[in-house]
Chains A and B, each alone.
Chain A
Amino acid sequence: MEPFKNFIDVLTQPTLMLTLAMFTFPFFFPMNDWFDKWNRRLRLNLLWTKAGLIAVIIGLTLFFVVGVQDAEFRLIMLKPDNVPIVGLIFLVYFFMWVSMKQASDNDKLLSTGEKPNEYHDPDEKVLVWPDLVYVEFISLILCMCLLLVWSIGLDAPLEEPANPAATPNPSKAPWYFLGLQEMLVYFDPWLAGVVFPTIIIFGLMAIPYLDKNPEGSGYYQFKNRRLAISIYMFGWIILWVLLIIIGTFLRGPNWNFFGPFEYWDIHKLEPLTNINLSEIIYIKLFNTGLPSNILVREIFGFIVVFGYFLVFPPLLAKTVLKRIYLQLGNFGYGVFVFLLLCMLSLPIKMYLRWIFNLKYLIAIPEYFFNI
């Protein structure tokens, strides 16, 4: 069992895991023909078949059954507030399967010119009483039963009384905010805690106004909506669910990374000496020392940040996002690409931190303005 645990510990190093997840992601949710070709060639579409469902559920179950034998992992996994996360992993995959299975079935039907499975003769309607009312009744009873069993079986956690002087180590946010907490490691609070959440809410609300594709309204479908679905899945699965998993299972004392089977050593030494872009350029490259004028000092950071938001939009409009640019027009495309770039800035900043130990691109702590 030890080699397996070591293998998992290595594989779940967040740097490696996130890289793997991000780069295999487009093969699972192919957003263009090239990825689609490889999706079929690598037989990844088998994931959305019945066999795929059974295999993944058994695999996940085995992992947690084996995992719970391990003393370290058991501590994390059976912590009452973490139990929903384990359930969440199963639920997210299961419902992803339910939707993608129906989507791929419908894709086949639509490619032969037929109507999707959801289609029924408009004249042939069913009555809400009893057909719908019973379905709702039974699901809410099942839901209540589950909740009761859960509540009887697992006590709600209650930690030590509040003590303003001693912070528990590690100190974790509620699970749905763990993505935010992870983001706070890489961005300053005004960005990670205020601006980005606002952009996320705004961006989610803007989805219907930015997705002008009339296809797939009212039925599961992937092929004709693949860009929209893959962006949504990237934001949800990679940047929210995966960060929750990382925050729950892999963040330990002093907010260091630990493998799931690794002992939470409080004294684990992890040198995290971070430097700003201005220091890299003026001190390491030019060997001159930082200029005293703030704007001169941070000019390179401003160039990078403005360049990111000014160069990429026209570049993408001429290349990969050409169709969307024509569809949305200047304003709509501007909003869309701004949201997209904001979303991608998180993994970009993570990699900058991991590779260059970069702290801030623009660092003006005098005015609390750090990016």
Chain B
Amino acid sequence: MSDKKNIFERFGESQVWKSIFRSGVPRTRRQRMMSVLNSVFLHLHPVRLPRHAVKLKFTWCMGGLTFFLFLVLTISGILLMFYYRPTAEYAYTDMIDLGEQVPLGIMREIHRWGAHAMVITTWLHMFRVFMTGSYKPPREFNWSIGVLLLVLTLLLSFTGYLLPWDQLAMWAITVGGNMARATPFVGHEGPGAALLSIGDINFINMGADAKFALLGGRFVGEAALLRFYVLHCIGLPFVVMILMAVHFWRVRKDGGISGPT
């Protein structure tokens, strides 16, 4: 009998294959359910869904695309990190090299346009969730997590802005840093900062305020480049991943995708 089986079938029955994919090729209803349940990736999803939930006109797949773009940005970002050096001396020339000396010189393009696209998909996902009233009980908290994820998406994009070390970068961050300077109480040109002083000593001054903490100096320089690099590559993605885990977990725990009752 066994000689009638083709190579794929034989492979599918091998011990190796079966140890990885326990439920076999998803042909029967049971196998299909098990293949979702048994996969660490697929079990983000429930096994069964109401019919409206798989329709594109309901979900627009925007949440999924946002996550997908996050993965694309992570991978392309890691590839960029192999060549990019966050110093005032090299940052700009490394940018040029990334386009001209590195094979498949569109990685920076993928990263930059992907970042634009991710802001747009996050927007649209939020818009969809709002229009379908999906933030209503019991999903209130998950909406709030989502808002934080939107803010982090914008911050990730913003910190990435400095890294090319060109004029656009320089001045966008100068303006951003000077906004921090105006933070009430903790910025040295913000209202209330003058209250935090004893005699002539200002505790909040050019060398110690929110702007300084952000830039690592009194103006945008090499220290700021390094700080933004660390925030962009490690700090913010770390927070995003934690919040994303909460966000996905809560989608399931709050009763799965919203729908009419």
Contact = CB atoms under 8 A, between A and B. Distances in A.
A and B touch in the complex (CB under 8 A): yes
B260 A156 contact: no
Contacts of A236: 127
Contact of B168 (A103, A128, A159): A159
A157 B99 CA distance: 11
A162 B54 contact: no
Interface residues on A, range: 35 or more
Contacts of A139: 56, 61, 64-65
A95 B139 CA distance: 23
Q: Is the interface of A mostly helix, strand, loop or mixed?
A: helix
Given A98-B57, A127-B48, A162-B167, A214 B120 contact: no
A102 B48 CA distance: 24
Given A128-B47, A167-B171, A205 B65 contact: no
Interface of B: 26, 29, 32-33, 35-36, 42, 45-54, 56-58, 60-61, 64-65, 68-69, 72, 88, 92, 95-96, 99, 106, 108-114, 116-117, 119-120, 124, 127-128, 130-137, 139-141, 143-144, 147-148, 150-151, 154, 157-158, 161, 164-172, 175-176, 178-184, 187, 189-194, 219-220, 258-261
Contacts of A143: 65, 68-69, 117
A175 B32 CA distance: 44
A271 interface: no
Interface stretch (A47-55, A115-123, A299-307, A309-317): A115-123
Nearest to B150: A204
A173 B175 contact: yes
B29 A127 contact: yes
A194 B258 CA distance: 34
A209 B183 contact: no
20 contacts: A84-B113, A99-B128, A120-B50, A120-B52, A125-B48, A126-B49, A127-B48, A135-B61, A150-B109, A162-B166, A173-B176, A193-B180, A217-B133, A217-B258, A218-B136, A218-B259, A367-B194, A368-B189, A368-B191, A368-B193
A133 B42 contact: yes
B61 A136 contact: yes
A144 B192 CA distance: 49
Nearest to B160: A174
